Amino acid sequence: MAIPITQLTPTSLYLAGKKPNLIAARPTVTVRDALNLMAANNITCLPLYSHSSDAIVSIVNLLDIVTYIVNAACFPDKKPRTLDSEKQEKLDDPIENVLGLESERESYRVFKTDANAPLYETLIAFSGRIHRSLVIDYTANVESTTQWLLSQTDIIRHIHNHPDSVSALGIDLDAPLRDIPGLLHPGREIVSAREDHLALEVYQTMVEKGNLGIAVVDSDNNIVANLSASDLRGISFKVIDHLVLPVLDFLKSLTTSSTRSILSLTPVTADPTTTLRSLVRSLIEHDIHRVWIVDGPGSKRLVDVVTHSDVIKAVVDRAKSLLQEGAAGLVV
């Protein structure tokens, strides 16, 4: 019988040897150096060491950094017509200043996972607003311990490659989305932006709402694009300066160097009759973190969204149901 994904450990996913070396920085490096380091390594988040040791204590992401830089050029009642981000004095601030005092943001803390413990508790965290976890092998020699980041994408990819890991919990991957308990949320407010909004305004909305992706819609609520934190990958000061453009123009300015931004102009959608298997496949094949839900086949009218967190929450909710039914052996 297949082992449920909740019983697997990070070690049993066999990812440690496939992960790139962990790129981290001291909290005192400048914002400019941190941004350059992330661009050079094509990463969207940067773990930060403690002041006094090599322990990872926080993670900053590109959206945090860009917001920090741009906010210095904005006034409460007026958006700038141009940006000259490379000359911003904030670039010389220590990167730890970007974190601020917002303790609810993922960037302010690091979730840690024991390399040899079941994934159940980590999946619970991933079903909320935690997107990655620092995996530590506490049984290894301290000097030889290798730390690596486990992401929501790793979990979704495992489900895609090993569907029996969720089938073992009684989840039917061939069921339509509307039949998966808790996966769709009819009537919930979907945070979106109009196509004539500035990219800067859309990213500010993302920060305010705690989202990492927003649908761009027309006047009829038809989805026309998708703006996400991932579009900032490999960002340069020139790209930051383009944030004053309307969001569609901003995305078009990225398409010469980013296939992801081309995809953002043709967002991936599904509808309530799409199977869970098909949705998971779309997430992996397109390397995206969300699929926008439209009201039916061939439609573009936005009604919902399914993210990595939503898929993982469906798994967690099923596991919790089994625990309540006394089937703990199937969960942990």
Spatial separation of the C-alpha atoms in residues 86 and 66, rounded to whole Å: 12
Q: What pLDDT, on a 0 to 100 scale, did the predictor assign at position 6?
A: 96
In this predicted structure, the answer to whether residue 106 has a pLDDT above a threshold of 90 is no
Structurally, at CATH architecture level, domain 177-307 sits in Roll (3.10)
11-167 is a CATH 3.10.450.50 domain: no
Domain limits of the chain?
11-167, 177-307
Determine how β-strand 112-114 pairs with β-strand 132-136. Answer: parallel
pTM comes to 0.91
pLDDT (0 to 100) of residue 189: 85
Q: Say how far apart CA 203 and CA 79 lie, in whole Å.
A: 13
- What pLDDT digit, counting tens, does each position of 198-209 carry? 998 899 888 888
* Residue 318, both tokens: 């099923």
pLDDT on residue 99: 86
Give the Cβ contact number of residue 140 at 10 Å: 12
What is the residue type of 104? E
Average pLDDT, the chain: 88
The answer on pLDDT for 142 being more than 70 is no
Q: How confident is the model at residue 299 (pLDDT cuts 50, 70, 90)?
A: very high
Asked whether the predicted pLDDT for residue 1 surpasses 80, the reply is no
Give pLDDT, residue 253: 87
Taking 90 as the threshold, does the pLDDT of residue 278 lie above it? yes
177-307 shares the fold of 11-167: yes
Residue-wise pLDDT tens digits, 57-76 = 999 999 989 888 887 766 55
Mean pLDDT on 114-118: 95
